[in-house]
Amino acid sequence: MNKVQIAVLGATLVAFGGAYVLFNSAPAPAPQRVAEAPKLSTDEVLVAAQDIPMGTAISDASVAWQMWPKAAISELMIVKSSGPNAMDDVKGSLTRDAFIRGEPMRRDKLVKAGAGGFMSAILPSGLRAVAIKVDNAGDDYAGGFILPNDRVDVIKIYRDDEATKARGVEVLGAQTILTNVKVLAIGQAVQEENGKKVVVGGNATLELDPQQAEQVILAERAGNANLHLVLRSLVDSAGPAQTVGDQDASGSGLTIVRFGAPQTAAQ
C-alpha cells in the first residue's frame, strides 16, 4: 500500500469518526406538544328510560337523566339545569305520543293531568274528534282489523229513493265522502295493547277538520245512509285527510237489491 492510499484511508476514518461523534452528541429533538381537544359543553336531558306508549302517565321509572351536548338541546327538551323541580313538573303528565327508549322527552308531547280529557290532549290544533257508530263485530270496518292510528276512507251507503221508485226494486248507492282519515280510537281503545292485532267496539273516533266533521255527522244522521270505513294501505297513508267532491247519484255506482241479493245496475 503506497502513501497516497494510506492517506486516503486515514482521511476516511477520520471523517467517519467525526460524524459518529457529532451524531451521538447532538441533543434529542424536543417532543411535539399535542393540542388538547376542546371540552364539550353538556347538560343533563330527561329521556325515556323505556319504551313509553301513548297515553302513559310519567313516573320515576319511566324516565332518566342523560348527558346531552348543549348545542343539540332543543328548547322543547327538559333539562336538569332549568330548576330543581324539573322532574316534579313532569311526573304525572300523560304522553300525547309514544316514546322509544333513550328518546328525549318533549314538552309538546306531554300534557298535565287534569288539564282536560286525554282525547282533547292528543288532538292537533284546528282538528276535531268525531265518533261514528260501527258494528261491534267489525263488519263496518274491515272485520275489526282497523286499529287506532290507521288511515281509512269513509264510504256512504245510501238508498236512492228516486231510482227505487222508478225501478220498483230497492236501489243502493255507494259514495266515498272522505279519504285518508286518521282513526283515533276504536271503542275506548286509543292504541294497540299487548300485541293485540284486532280491536272491536261500538264506535270509531276519527280525526277531522270542522267541515269534514259536519259532513260526516250529516251523512250519519241521514235516515237512508250508513257509513263504512275502508282500510288504506300504509304506503298510501301519507298526507292529510281529503274531502271528496259531491257526486251525482246517477254517476256513482248503484246496486239493486233483489230478494236480498245485490246486483250492479246498468248506467
Going from N- to C-terminal start, the domains of the chain cover: 42-122, 128-264
On whether the CB atoms of residues 120 and 55 are closer than 8 A, the answer is no
Q: Per DSSP, which regions of the chain are E strands?
A: 42-48, 63-69, 94-95, 110-111, 128-133, 151-159, 170-186, 203-208, 225-231, 242-243, 254-258, 261-264
Q: pLDDT at position 10, please?
A: 64
Query: Phi and psi of 212, rounded to 5°?
Result: -65, -35
Lowest mean pLDDT among 40-54, 125-139, 153-167: 125-139
- The 10s digit of each residue's pLDDT in 172-221 is 888 888 999 998 888 776 666 555 555 666 788 999 999 999 999 988 88
Residue bearing cell 330543581 = 84
- pLDDT computed for residue 3 by the predictor: 64
Residue 93 has pLDDT above 70, yes or no: yes
Helix (H) or strand (E) holding 21: helix 3-25
Query: Helix (H, G, I), strand (E, B), or coil: what is residue 4?
Result: helix
Region 227-244: mean pLDDT is: 83
Give the residue, 193 or 169, on which the prediction is more confident: 169
Q: Which three cell numbers stand for residue 53?
A: 306508549
**Number of CB atoms found within 10 A of residue 78's CB:** 21
CB 51 within 8 A of CB 101: yes
Q: For residues 112 and 108, what is the distance between their CA atoms, to the nearest angstrom?
A: 11
| Confidence class for position 251, pLDDT limits 50, 70, 90 | very low
Task: Tell me the CATH class for 42-122.
Answer: alpha beta
Over the chain, what is the mean pLDDT? 76
- pLDDT at residue number 254: 41
What's the confidence (pLDDT) of residue 211? 92
Contact present, 152 and 185 (Cβ < 8 Å): no
